[in-house]
Amino acid sequence: MKIVLISANTAQTPYPVYPLGMGIVAKALLDAGHQVVQFDFLHSGQSFEKLTQVLLSQMPDLVGISIRNIDNVNLASEQHYIGTVRQIVLAVRSSVKVPIVLGGAGFSIMPETILDAVGADYGIVGESESAVVDFVADIEGGKRPDRCIRAHNLVAPKNIGSAQYDSDIIKFYLKYGNMVGMQTKRGCIHKCVYCTYPLLEGRIFRPRPAVDVVDDIEVLIKDHHAGYIVFTDSIFNDDQGLFLNVLHEMKRRRLSVPWTGFIKPGNILEEHVLLMKETGLKAVEIGSDAASDIALKGIGKDFLFKDIISANDIFVRNGVATAHFFMFGGPGETKDSVMEGIENIIALPGTVSFMFMGIRILPETPLEKIALRDGVIEPGRDLLESVYYISPALDRQWLEKTMLEGFKDHRCCFFPADKFESSIKFLHQMGYSGSLWEMLSPNKMRRSQRSIHPMQKG
């Protein structure tokens, strides 16, 4: 069968990210003997004309659309992406009369609602490397699949797919910091109340064989000239130590490539940080999420603010850039905890912090139930329009004003969180590799400001 896959993602916050999910689906379909063309809407310059050209020249039997984001989960400067998907579906319909199937993380969070909103034919919820192959076999065999397919079993770790990297598409994304995402495992065992990861990937960690992960990293470096790996796992340093297998395999192959990942505070050992550095670790995003013990408890974290301080400390002292993302206004948050949180963040040394106001309520998360209980939403509320939880003990205007005031004189504290984007774009254009927090970290900022000054004058 001939299949055109379209990545519908147009988000550029904090930077454009390579469509890894589409790549994995493409590889699974190619391996099953299908012809696959990948089309990236952002890379095309968001051009419906180019999309139509590809469809008319390929005349596919099936079109798949990958939906990564619903919105930008940022109440302080909202962006919505599903309208663009609807336009893409209309453009496909006016070019070819074939079934359209949706998939992707954003889609999987509210599948039926999105299917209705964009008017596609089918959807596959969750990880799809095997489900999509079965789906195509059904279509080929003349069977009519269910409209919304949910895979019953999670993909076995050894079958978690590699991506088919499209050389044109990857070149476009490498312009933004030379980075590509890489998944080493799926799932999350934690119970953060707002989070969709366990729903999307399951509630246990399923590690890919380390050899497969490192093979993929080598392909990215040798064949595509990627210079910076972003480990996309919900938590890189899982408590079971599965991450060590990947690091040992990198070390065994004497592979050191700049990388970053999400780090959970608590029990971080110096020897592990040193091993991370030996394999190329440059920066970490510490999964802090709330800035006081009250707010951490309210969102279901199993660590305290002192653990955030220690995690920050161990990386900073080893020369690794750190960043923290904090949400204010979650369950249990009070005016006092907001003030305490602002002080805690400002006092964190040698790091950058990005702040969000309110927490996006997503279906089937514990936060949805809390929001119903607290009267923040009413039963049956459509969560496709972005709805945010703000603790009933707080007033939105007060929270926004307090956060703006609290962080305004602190250049390593960003509120709204996307305030830094123009600096990122600028630094990427200047040829800087790597993640935003590495570039914005206090030490690097001092150096980069010195070096970019003459160009600004010129």
When asked if residue 69 is in the footprint of ligand B12 (CB under 6 A), the reply is: yes
Closer CB to ligand B12, residue 31 or residue 340?
A: 31
At which residue do the structure tokens 């969000």 appear? 356
Closer CB to ligand B12, residue 294 or residue 361?
A: 361
Give, as one character, the DSSP assignment of residue 47.
-
When asked if residue 132 is in the footprint of ligand B12 (CB under 6 A), the reply is: yes
Output the residue with the shortest Cβ distance to ligand B12. Answer: 103
For residue 360, what are the CA distances in angstroms to 228, 312, 387?
Answer: 30, 26, 6
Of the ranges 127-135, 137-145, 237-245, 316-324, which one interacts with ligand B12 (CB under 6 A)? 127-135
Interface residue with ligand B12, options 92, 200, 220, 399 (CB under 6 A): 200
Closer CB to ligand B12, residue 40 or residue 307?
A: 40
When asked if residue 64 is in the footprint of ligand B12 (CB under 6 A), the reply is: yes
Interface residue with ligand B12, options 232, 245, 292, 337 (CB under 6 A): 232
d(CA 369, CA 376): 10
Contacts of 265 (CB under 8 A, 6+ apart): 286, 287, 288, 303, 307, 308, 310, 311
At which residue do the structure tokens 């951490």 appear? 296
Interface residue with ligand B12, options 21, 99, 202, 298 (CB under 6 A): 21
Interface residue with ligand B12, options 136, 174, 226, 230 (CB under 6 A): 230
When asked if residue 38 is in the footprint of ligand B12 (CB under 6 A), the reply is: no
Tell the smallest beta-carbon distance from residue 371 to ligand B12 (Å).
15
Tell the smallest beta-carbon distance from residue 256 to ligand B12 (Å).
19
Of the ranges 207-215, 229-237, 298-306, 329-337, which one interacts with ligand B12 (CB under 6 A)? 229-237
Q: Quick one: CA dihedral 157, 150, 58, 144, positive or negative?
A: positive
Identify the helix (H) or strand (E) that includes residue 414.
Answer: strand 413-414
Closer CB to ligand B12, residue 9 or residue 391?
A: 9
Q: Which residues pair with 71 in a beta bridge?
A: 80
Of the ranges 66-74, 295-303, 439-447, 448-456, which one interacts with ligand B12 (CB under 6 A)? 66-74
Interface residue with ligand B12, options 38, 44, 58, 66 (CB under 6 A): 66
Q: Which of residues 180-199 bind ligand B12 (CB under 6 A)?
A: 181, 183, 196-197
Is 253 exposed, middle or buried, given 0-12, 13-18 or 19+ CB atoms closer than 10 A? Answer: middle
Tally Cβ neighbours within 10 Å of residue 123.
26
Tell the smallest beta-carbon distance from residue 451 to ligand B12 (Å).
25
Of the ranges 53-61, 228-236, 265-273, 341-349, which one interacts with ligand B12 (CB under 6 A)? 228-236
d(CA 389, CA 321): 31
**Contact yes or no for 177/433 (Cβ under 8 A):** yes
Tell the smallest beta-carbon distance from residue 419 to ligand B12 (Å).
12
Closer CB to ligand B12, residue 17 or residue 321?
A: 17
Tell the smallest beta-carbon distance from residue 226 to ligand B12 (Å).
10
Identify the helix (H) or strand (E) that includes residue 6.
Answer: strand 2-7
**Contact yes or no for 418/13 (Cβ under 8 A):** yes
Tally Cβ neighbours within 10 Å of residue 261.
22
Structure tokens given for 364: 């089937």
Q: Which of residues 104-123 bind ligand B12 (CB under 6 A)?
A: 104-106, 108-109
When asked if residue 389 is in the footprint of ligand B12 (CB under 6 A), the reply is: no
d(CA 73, CA 357): 10
Q: Which of residues 296-355 bind ligand B12 (CB under 6 A)?
A: none
Structure tokens given for 176: 């933004």
Q: Which of residues 234-263 bind ligand B12 (CB under 6 A)?
A: 234
Closer CB to ligand B12, residue 42 or residue 314?
A: 42
When asked if residue 216 is in the footprint of ligand B12 (CB under 6 A), the reply is: no
Q: Which residues pair with 185 in a beta bridge?
A: 207
Closer CB to ligand B12, residue 316 or residue 424?
A: 424
Interface residue with ligand B12, options 8, 22, 226, 367 (CB under 6 A): 22
185-186 vs 206-207, strand pairing mode: antiparallel
Tally Cβ neighbours within 10 Å of residue 101.
27
When asked if residue 44 is in the footprint of ligand B12 (CB under 6 A), the reply is: no
Closer CB to ligand B12, residue 190 or residue 335?
A: 190
Phi (first) and psi of residue 263, to 5 degrees: -115, 135
Q: How many residues bind ligand B12 (CB under 6 A)?
A: 45
Question: Residue 404, SS3?
Answer: helix
Structure tokens given for 394: 């707080």
- The angle that helices 243-252 and 210-222 make with each other, rounded to 10 degrees, is 50
Report the candidate in 179, 311, 176, 352 with the shortest Cα–Cα distance to residue 257.
179
Mark out the alpha helices in 10-59 (DSSP H runs). 20-31, 48-58
Closer CB to ligand B12, residue 150 or residue 317?
A: 150
Please give the residue ranges that form the binding site for ligand B12 (CB under 6 A): 9, 11-14, 16-17, 20-22, 24-25, 64-66, 68-74, 101, 103-106, 108-109, 124, 127-129, 132, 179, 181, 183, 196-197, 200-201, 230, 232, 234, 360
